[in-house]
Structure 1
Amino acid sequence: APLKPLQFIKLPVGSIQPEGWLRKYLELQRDGLTGHLGEISAWLEKNDNAWLTAGGQHGWEEVPYWLKGYGNLAYILNDPKMIAETKVWLEGVFKSVQPDGYFGPVNERDGRRELWANMIMLWCMQSYYEYSGDQRVIDLMTNYFKWQLTVDDSKFLRDYWENSRGGDNLWSVYWLYNITGDSFLLELAEKIHRCTADWTVDSRLPNWHNVNVAQCFREPATYYMLSGDSAHLAASYNVHALIRRCFGQVPGGMFGADENARMGCIDPRQGTETCGFVEEMASDELMMRITGDPMWAEQCENVAFNSYPAAVMPDFRALRYITSPNQVLSDAQNHNPGIDNGGPFLAMNPFSSRCCQHNHAQGWPYYTEHLVMATPDNGLVAALYGACQVKAKVGNGKEIVLKETTHYPFEETIAFTVDTKENVNFPF
């Protein structure tokens, strides 16, 4: 096959039912900011929203950022009200498709259509397809990617965010290719890598923005699945190590870049955005799937358990924009230039920033989806630890229920029970 196989394969959303503290966390998200953000976020206001109405006056990354976590939370908890709300937004996306294949709000700069917000929405679409099997997702993505292939390189992935984060687009192309096998998608994959910022450099990154580094270091490893060049895989390991060698000699798995990493600002008072935490977790989960390397599970757990919880209130009703390992202040003062970004960014605030306010939602749902994954030899792997029940087909296609019982990370005892109607052999 043209693409190298994933070492671990994510099960369809909803296959894993979390239990214990993790389920409680997800329920707190549902009852807190994630589940009720539409009631307070100006960016989720439905009236004149360009994600729902052609020509709407507002609509960019905020809706898909939120929906990425909200929708998956809905599917995992099988919450009818949340699923219905998710469909409202997705139906708006389906209705927005243009004859040339482009979808979503039409945001143009210098004659170029903006691509970044659509990258996020494509991930929402993939989760919806896993849940529903709706063929419209495949049609939308196929036509959109055909349009992308027609865009001249000089106008493709040129703006700052989309240029940095083209790897998210690349991953979606692979996802579709593994379903349809359409050969044009591999040509598009080459184009995306060619036009994306170069994250293969040894020491000088394209930029030092905390979310970009956390999100984009995986792009070369993603491209490695097509190129087969081990240097691309090594580049992702290098960027991950470089940012921590220079700015990350602190507990919690992250690095100091409070908006951007700056020379000399290396002590534990420097922080990271909440967006940075959840994007690092997502990158670690993808790197784990690409490589099978348990290092990425360790890294994901480090951020999930030791950094991300400090960025949100225990009831998930407020969050902080910037959180640092040694943070003794939680106020609404401007701490620039101590932190890079000027503003009241150390305070817990349900309205905190148009990005993190929405993007925080993906953290625990995505973590839950990666607790147990399939392996190419028709087995299962418990990749991240957490109490759960998993329905999956293993071996020669027999369905089992795997139950994982644990209070991890508060204790290190983990018990697995396999429930099967008949004898079955499978790697675990």
Structure 2
Amino acid sequence: MKRAGSLCPRPLLRLVMHASLWPLGLLAASVVSAQTVTLNSEIYYNVVLYGGKDAGCSPLDNMLSNRGCDNTLQDLWSVDDGSHNQRYRFVPVPGETNTFNIISGCQLYLSCQDCSGVSTTDLYSIDDGSGRQRWVLTPIAGLANTYDITVAGGRDASCGIYLSTGATCSDTYVDLYTSDDGSGRQRWTLIPLEPETGSLPLEPFVYNELPLGVVKPSAGSWLLNQLEAQANGLHGNLQNFWSTVQNNDWIGGTGDYSSLHEAGAYWLNGVIPTAFQLNDQRLLNDVNKWVDYIISHQGSDGWLGPDSTPRVLWGTYPMLLALRQYAQANTTAAPTILNSLDKFFVLMSTMMSTQGGAGLEEWGLMRWEEASIVIEWMIETYPNGRDSMYLQLLTLLRTFGAPWPVNFSPGVFPTAAINEVDIRFHGVNVAEAIKSEAVAYRYSHNSSDLTSTRQRISIIDEYHGRISGVLNADEHLAGLGAERGSELCTVVESMYSFEYNYMVLGDNTFADRVEKLAYNALPAEITGDMWEHQYMQQTNQIQSAFLNPNPFATDGNESNVFGLAPNYPCCTVNHGQGWPKFISHAYMTSSDTKTLYHALLSPTTFNSTLANNNKVTVVAQTNYPFSSTIQYTITACAAFNFGIRVPTWVPSSKITYAVNRGASQSATANSAGYVIINIAAGTHTISANIPMSISTPTTSGTAVAVTRGPLVYSLNIDFSTTVLQSYTANSSDLEFTPTSSWQYALSKSNLVYNGDSSNAASVQYPFSQNNPLVTISANVCPITWNTDGASALTPPSSPATCTGSQTSVKLVPYGAAKLRITEFPYF
């Protein structure tokens, strides 16, 4: 971490070094030249003090630096640590000579106060026209790439305009001085840094994503019921009663919860795939109206969406993802959508290349990979002769964006809860960045990006991972405590990141992770009828209420209330992408489209054309993950290969299957995790069995959890419900108060699975707390387990001491237990 420098302003008068002590060459270079300064606004520079520090400083803090995106202080640091805190871009001010905006790696402007304020420099969000965010570079004669840097206006020269610092080793502040005193402390050398690079064509996917609408939930399945619950629940009705969506600024209204303009984009990114997968005419009418408005109101310069000064790019990223899906599903509208996106990216290219990254701010910098996914899709779908422009746009976004390999590196990445605001380690930013280098690999062709992808997943899991598959972050990385929180947005963004990583890298564990998130963390944070959701879920969650004391370091104490918009509204609009994107990625193809893979085991149906115009339909009927059997009905015009994924938790990677009701046969997955079956032309059936066994993995400390297959099991805590507030439609804020005991230790012996579900498809709400579809019987005993208000403290050490007799309980799926104990001490 960067060490702190002095925060105190320094007197403007200081002792000037005797000429005999000046560094060699300073006297000769005391006359400045009047040449034109030309700098590349598309790259970063290190800004290094030329001289004047005391001899023997170790480390020598001589590089212009800042404290990160959550701090406006400027200081000096000894090295470029890769964080972008020591990197600046110089963007010419139009109409001015040798005058630049100096923009930090957080897209903030180097700035200062007027003479009534302190003399130290800071960072500001915009160029306010005062001149204090504009800097004149005057070359020093005889010294290459070395300049006096003076503030262009808004400050009287008599109170200091020269970028400067002090002489001693402990002087790490950056302030303004009245002149170039010849010491070297007002002279700065600019060292250009190499930008990110890439080349086309893009690396092919290991597994190809299918267009929206090709995969749907199978008829009569529990997953169809689940998606219909979403369509009929909160997310599918926000446009009817909640002003943030109903009157959203993306459709000409004034509703949004922030100046980022993300609410409407988030909502459309989830409701579009829901509408098309269900062929829900009500929702289709809504999304058609939204898309028609957005496209018809595109700016003459290509801008999409609500405009502001300055423009904000981040809010467009989820909209780009939404429009991409719409174009895939609505082939009639696709040419119009593609043309609109092409215009937008031409503008975005100008904003990046000649306007110095205009439109970027801290959220856009952190989430550069989201826009990059759509840019890569444009290259492959509708390059329109702009291949070079798109490639440059990709590399500029990565150059300017957050350096995620550095952020995830040992020594930088937090190994415990940080309990403070740090945008680098904001939970949703981390979840989205799980895929950033996988996205970049497609144009970098650098295997180190794949290594970085695997490394970051490992380090997240080690220090912040939860048994449900999601990371702990409330709002920022929160360690391993079972009482700490995980945001619903983090769940759905993690799902999409692992879906994408699986397409690029093909690691079987990534598909396992998607299933674990979908079948545990996602439904756990939403009521069974999907009308209420939490902002934060807890692994051990003994009450849903206004928690006092608050266990969440940087979130409100109402964060685990089930409601309309607890704590902050982002998850209200964003949670809808989870289930439909899971469905879209359930099947994938090989890069040559000759092989079809069932990648995410689920009751889903594929209907499309493979290589050589081979029309294929696959219907998977299954209660998985509440059952281990999957029944496939497959119709094909010609022979093809069909792959059934074998999860890594399957013993010996072996499954059994039978074709056309023939003899059962055992098969071991290949190195990619698939059993490949050759399907002849015609209609055929396959019955596959995915063996599952009970496991009790150690979680944090000496606590254990219970899993079987992709499902995590919890002790369900009964509760009473209090309605805190009711809204229009069926939406309410609900408090859940426990009414049954939960302070138990678990016996790891005698865990008994009570059989597969036979009626999952007939249950309207598969993850309702009232209808657990599968259970595991377990023996528990009461123990002393302390609380902190309404939160369970860390599970007591194991083996625990029983304070009473053993009793038998039934553990239920984590996603169905809205109050629960998941991490147990054992006895």
Aligned to 1:371: 586
Q: Deviations over 1:283-339 (max 9, x none)?
A: 111111111221111011111112111100000010000001111111133543544
Q: Does 1:11 pair with 2:195? A: no
- Higher RCO (C-alpha 8 Å, min separation 6): 1
Letter in 2 for 1:243: I
Q: C-alpha separation between the residues in 1 aligned to 2:545 and 2:402?
A: 36
Paired residues of 1:157 and 1:166 also in contact (CA < 8 A)? no
Q: C-alpha separation between the residues in 2 aligned to 1:213 and 1:157?
A: 21
- State TM-score, norm by structure 1: 0.93
Letter in 2 for 1:144: F
Paired residues of 2:546 and 2:561 also in contact (CA < 8 A)? yes
Please report how far the alpha carbon of residue 377 of structure 1 lies from its aligned counterpart in structure 2 after TM superposition: 2.5
Out of 312, 321, 328, which is 2:526 matched to? Answer: 312
Letter in 2 for 1:147: L
- State the structure with more CA Rg: 2
Unaligned runs of 5+ in 2: 1-199, 414-422, 644-827
Paired residues of 2:203 and 2:443 also in contact (CA < 8 A)? yes
Aligned to 1:392: 608
Q: C-alpha separation between the residues in 1 aligned to 2:541 and 2:549?
A: 12
SS at 1:76's partner residue?
A: helix
Q: C-alpha separation between the residues in 2 aligned to 1:374 and 1:226?
A: 21
Q: Does 1:188 pair with 2:380? A: no
Please report how far the alpha carbon of residue 71 of structure 1 lies from its aligned counterpart in structure 2 after TM superposition: 1.2
SS at 1:390's partner residue?
A: strand
Please report how far the alpha carbon of residue 152 of structure 1 lies from its aligned counterpart in structure 2 after TM superposition: 4.3
Out of 238, 247, 256, which is 1:37 matched to? Answer: 238
Q: C-alpha separation between the residues in 2 aligned to 1:141 and 1:66?
A: 19
Q: Does 1:89 pair with 2:268? A: no
Aligned to 2:155: none
Out of 256, 263, 270, which is 1:62 matched to? Answer: 263
Q: Deviations over 1:9-50 (max 9, x none)?
A: 22221112212111100010111111111233221132xx42
Out of 612, 620, 623, which is 1:404 matched to? Answer: 620
Aligned to 2:431: 214
SS at 1:392's partner residue?
A: strand
Write out aligned runs for 1:13-28 (5 A). 13-19=212-218, 20-28=221-229
Q: C-alpha separation between the residues in 1 aligned to 2:557 and 2:305?
A: 31
Of 336-345 and 408-417, more deviation after overlay is shown by 336-345
Of 301-310 and 167-176, more deviation after overlay is shown by 301-310
Aligned to 1:199: 404
Out of 575, 581, 590, which is 1:360 matched to? Answer: 575
Q: C-alpha separation between the residues in 2 aligned to 1:152 and 1:307?
A: 37
Distance 1:37 1:399, change over 3 A: same
Please report how far the alpha carbon of residue 408 of structure 1 lies from its aligned counterpart in structure 2 after TM superposition: 0.8
Write out aligned runs for 1:149-188 (5 A). 149-152=349-352, 154-156=356-358, 158-181=360-383, 182-183=386-387, 184-188=389-393
Letter in 2 for 1:121: M
Aligned to 1:301: 515
Out of 467, 479, 487, which is 1:251 matched to? Answer: 467
Paired residues of 1:163 and 1:197 also in contact (CA < 8 A)? yes
Distance 1:305 1:115, change over 3 A: same
Q: Does 1:131 pair with 2:345? A: no
User: Per residue, is there more strand in 1 or in 2?
Assistant: 2
Please report how far the alpha carbon of residue 72 of structure 1 lies from its aligned counterpart in structure 2 after TM superposition: 0.8
Aligned to 1:241: 458
Of 56-65 and 371-380, more deviation after overlay is shown by 56-65
SS at 1:10's partner residue?
A: coil
SS at 1:318's partner residue?
A: coil
Identical aligned residues as a percent = 27
Q: C-alpha separation between the residues in 2 aligned to 1:343 and 1:39?
A: 29
Letter in 2 for 1:357: T
Out of 306, 330, 340, which is 1:140 matched to? Answer: 340
Letter in 2 for 1:139: N
Q: C-alpha separation between the residues in 2 aligned to 1:407 and 1:36?
A: 28
Unaligned runs of 5+ in 1: none
Please report how far the alpha carbon of residue 384 of structure 1 lies from its aligned counterpart in structure 2 after TM superposition: 0.1
Distance 1:68 1:337, change over 3 A: same
Paired residues of 1:394 and 1:426 also in contact (CA < 8 A)? no
Letter in 2 for 1:191: L
Of 344-353 and 168-177, more deviation after overlay is shown by 344-353
Q: C-alpha separation between the residues in 1 aligned to 2:548 and 2:580?
A: 32
Q: C-alpha separation between the residues in 2 aligned to 1:246 and 1:158?
A: 30
SS at 1:415's partner residue?
A: strand
Distance 1:336 1:157, change over 3 A: farther
CA RMSD of aligned residues (A): 1.7
Please report how far the alpha carbon of residue 113 of structure 1 lies from its aligned counterpart in structure 2 after TM superposition: 1.4
Distance 1:328 1:191, change over 3 A: same
Out of 214, 221, 224, which is 2:441 matched to? Answer: 224
SS at 1:116's partner residue?
A: coil
Q: C-alpha separation between the residues in 2 aligned to 1:5 and 1:157?
A: 30
Letter in 1 for 2:254: Q
Aligned to 1:289: 503
SS at 2:424's partner residue?
A: coil
SS at 1:113's partner residue?
A: coil
Please report how far the alpha carbon of residue 375 of structure 1 lies from its aligned counterpart in structure 2 after TM superposition: 1.5
Of 181-190 and 226-235, more deviation after overlay is shown by 181-190
Q: C-alpha separation between the residues in 1 aligned to 2:369 and 2:638?
A: 42
Write out aligned runs for 1:324-343 (5 A). 324-333=538-547, 335-343=549-557
Of 393-402 and 293-302, more deviation after overlay is shown by 393-402
Paired residues of 1:405 and 1:415 also in contact (CA < 8 A)? yes
Paired residues of 1:210 and 1:258 also in contact (CA < 8 A)? yes
Of 275-284 and 7-16, more deviation after overlay is shown by 7-16
Distance 1:271 1:177, change over 3 A: same
Q: Does 1:52 pair with 2:251? A: yes
Distance 1:245 1:124, change over 3 A: same
Distance 1:247 1:31, change over 3 A: same
Please report how far the alpha carbon of residue 145 of structure 1 lies from its aligned counterpart in structure 2 after TM superposition: 0.8
SS at 1:155's partner residue?
A: coil
Letter in 2 for 1:2: P
Paired residues of 2:229 and 2:529 also in contact (CA < 8 A)? yes
Letter in 2 for 1:13: L
Paired residues of 1:157 and 1:163 also in contact (CA < 8 A)? no
SS at 2:249's partner residue?
A: coil
Q: Deviations over 1:153-210 (max 9, x none)?
A: 6334641211111100110100111012331211111111111101112132571111
SS at 2:544's partner residue?
A: coil
Of 124-133 and 180-189, more deviation after overlay is shown by 180-189
Distance 1:131 1:151, change over 3 A: same
Letter in 2 for 1:148: M
Question: Number of residues paired by the alignment?
Answer: 417
SS at 1:350's partner residue?
A: coil
Of 116-125 and 177-186, more deviation after overlay is shown by 177-186
SS at 2:425's partner residue?
A: coil
